Amino acid sequence: MAEPTAGPSVAGRRARMTVAYDGGGYHGFAENAGVRTVMGELRAAVARVVRVDVPLTGAGRTDAGVHAWGQVVSGDLPVGTDLADLRHRLNRLLGPEISIRAVEWADRADFDARFSASWRQYRYHVDNHPDPNPFTRTTAWHVSAPLALWAMNAGCDALIGEHDFAAFCRRPKVAPGDQAPSLRRHVQRARWLAVDDEQRPGLLRFEIRANAFCHQMVRSVVGLLVRVGLGAVTPGEVRSILLAGDRAAASQIAPPHGLVLWEVGYPPS
């Protein structure tokens, strides 16, 4: 979508959107000059509808190829904006790759999709059937060798709680003299389960919830746990790798297309 010509941003009323998208055709969520991104398309469409430029904030920065069902976006819309009409028009402009699932006025003026969030939850799908499934090829990682679900769940135990996840995170670039940001995160939930769906036999789902995630953390965790399921790593070694902070030990990164930002949680108002 071409960038519209918009007037200056105007003060308005804080709104929040719940956004789903197929990330396969985008270079990630966050705006990036010269490439097509989800936020770039969304912001351009909002400006086209409301006739002013609206700075937007997202709850999470998903990578290229990663999908979302429950991404949350906040921004100040002109007072008097018809939210139902806005949602309808945005979906006509952006669908089917991007869908606005809900738009509502925020319950407080300082609501921020990113900084007000208390947790994020991701899902990752693995197609663990000997034969590839055409209907999951863009949303699940096909691993044809049998995976031991019990072992993968046993490996999850070490992840629960607050830890330094340096072993699972791509280290951010830091300018000389600056302090590297902390990679400590609090994981509240991590588990694998088999999905009961006759049209998608062998589908496994990984769910993980934490206060925040660092770059490539979920995909690195999935990559290691799949190695656990294959018997290449024992469940007990997951804790050793986590404590050692050795990025090379958890270097297998699951492909992006199996990952979905599923939900973002906020404290009650």
Q: What is the CATH number of the domain that holds 143?
A: 3.30.70.660
Q: Are residues 33 and 63 in the same domain?
A: yes
Express as a percent the part of the chain with pLDDT over 70.
Answer: 93
Tell me the catalytic residues: 63
Using an 8 Å Cβ cutoff, are 4 and 47 in contact? yes
The domain boundary residue, chosen from 105, 128, 147: 105
Question: In this structure, is residue 113 part of a structural domain?
Answer: no
Using an 8 Å Cβ cutoff, are 78 and 52 in contact? yes
The domain boundary residue, chosen from 105, 131, 159: 105
Average pLDDT over residues 166-192: 84
Average pLDDT over residues 215-238: 96
- CB within 8 Å of 177: residues ≥ 6 apart: none
Q: Are residues 127 and 53 in the same domain?
A: no
- Amino acid letter, residue 223: G
pLDDT given at position 177: 63
Burial class (CB in 10 A: 0-12, 13-18, 19+), 188: middle
Instruction: Report the chain's mean pLDDT, rounded to a whole number.
Output: 92
- Report the alpha-carbon distance of residue 9 to residue 12 in Å, rounded: 9
- Amino acid letter, residue 250: A
Residue 138 sits at the vertex; the CA angle it makes with 33 and 166, to the nearest 5 degrees, is 65
What is the rounded radius of gyration, in angstroms, for the C-alpha atoms of the chain?
20
CB environment 11-27: b (16+ within 10 A), e (fewer): ebebbbbbbbbbbeebb
Q: Is the pLDDT of residue 180 over 90?
A: no
Domains held by the chain: number: 2
pTM of the model: 0.92
pLDDT given at position 164: 95
User: Which tens digit of pLDDT belongs to each residue from 54-84?
Assistant: 999 999 999 999 999 999 999 999 999 999 9
